[in-house]
Structure 1
């Protein structure tokens, strides 16, 4: 099989959080037709036992352990160079040597790059044709964070938004194909990068509909007298922290006023201190990492996704829908879903409407109807095998002709994109 370089900023296994779910399914799909040479960072010690499993899917796997606290301190050096802190965070001389040697030793002509921060490793290799999956417009996330924080963090987030956008533009300019998760994200990127209009394609997320299936509900983790409201995800991620804290403190009191037996369950790895503190409210359970999220979804009365600061399709929403659960989604995320509000999920955009929507799902008939419609929508629209078919065509395009014409010249971008330190 043709060799293919696959670079990811985080080990694509196990697929237990948003970006790893997408990167794993991309990797799994292209591994069927290519000999994969995979380079990835490991930022969670709990993933280390999983490395051999991933290695079994690859011709070659190169991993590097990184300690987030140390990397964050190192990335601050970028303040002096003018580049994005995110790019400096994922810079490694050892990873660059491995990429250089792998391209030379195995005659690599094509690559899939997951996340803009990994595109830097192909800068010395312009001859390598590449698909770059940005997933979301990460730079816009930092813009969204800024007004929610005081100086100096507000200044730092605005700086990161500006410098990371420049590097996203550089990655797209150098790629044969660039991907974002939704048409809305594509439109956002193009509004920020008009010179690159037409260079990015939407490739939606999917769900493993066999794994996330109501038939695999397992045993309920909830008490019989509880009305369980569940929120899932990595709980050290800023949008999830904000969502959990806002919902617990602002929405749940109103929910409990209408349904005193309601309890909020925050299910996910690495809960931040602010999330742990929610248990002091008396009606919140924070589980930390769980072996299997499916029972927590399948037996909940309602799943919520109150992500006020987030982009793209949320896997937590798709997984809950796949488990035939009623889901209440924050209004700004609805544009990312190819589904009908009021039929496939409930929509809410403030405290009052969110509490009302959650209470409505406690009606058994309403909850079942939403759950059935949600599962049907997932089976129709969000299967990974259908979402990833386009990858096969793109990777089969002849090397003699680029899929798209070159876009923004690299000498037209800010110096931040080219600083390597």
Structure 2
């Protein structure tokens, strides 16, 4: 998402490079290009107009600092306005003073409500140590209850459901069950329709009145663009929800809904979802999203993802193996699998400042690691531990077992050897650097 908008904004900023100062003349074309880029991204017209007017007013009214060139200052002002358009600060979901916290999920059919319910349960359980109960109040869609139960079983979370098609009763009884089992959170998955209709709205309103939820989240398919914004507005007028969840941000979406929804509905985006997997959910940070749109990366999110997969003790063990030249293909495979757990590879690249410009993320294949994994997994434990054993006949056997070629295996082993040498060199340089730092601190010549 936002790749096209990012490239168009970057192109708009080019006109200010080399300028000694900001003037009405050199800013006019840049602002026009930004407005065009926003409209192309399916941003609401009024939002795009207000955004560019605010940027122009702030740029022309600012004093250019001597240490900052006009292009940099302009980018900073655009960044700050993007953050504000996205909502300013990260918005958390409510938590009841007396458990259980009741969270009501609403939205149209096909927006991803049920999947999000499972994702939210996993997020609250893993990140906030909460004990959720899911309420299957989507009693109309075929297999909706079964889908919720399947998702819940994969994360070891209980589900409350009944045979009768009574969504209000499901919600009320789920809250009572949570209290009796001392569970601190109830997440209610409600029914959707293909369009906003009176029956659906009345049912959601009845559930709201019956359980008095602490948080109502509206789930919207970001691929529907301005339709998503219009639907969000209609829902808000009826049930006055607390926040928005944008799903399918990994799809072919231009990002207009994300940029328009806060201004049009005046409700914060609280979560974004980027895939079907239950770990593909992130709290929404306006500042981080603005940085990514402007090609500044999102190092904080990248580090947070890495910290979940790599701990300090494992890093120390790995460093010792590298130093003693014992880093083998088992270790290599383990590192690949950890990187895969961090999420979509193209998404990770976009978090690294400048990487999205240097690499075309559209050409990054998320399955690129599969042949490498297949090759290593086709080796015997002894071969993984001692790659030097891989003679011609062994390589032919591995190629046959992994569905690859001997040439691919030769290429992998060459890259593995180069990587080992590089890692060892870096380890030595790090040690030498610490030694030099120590020498600098010695009281010589004092």
Normalised TM-score (structure 1): 0.33
More strand by share: 1
Name which one, 1 or 2, has greater alpha-carbon Rg.
Answer: 2
More helix by share: 2
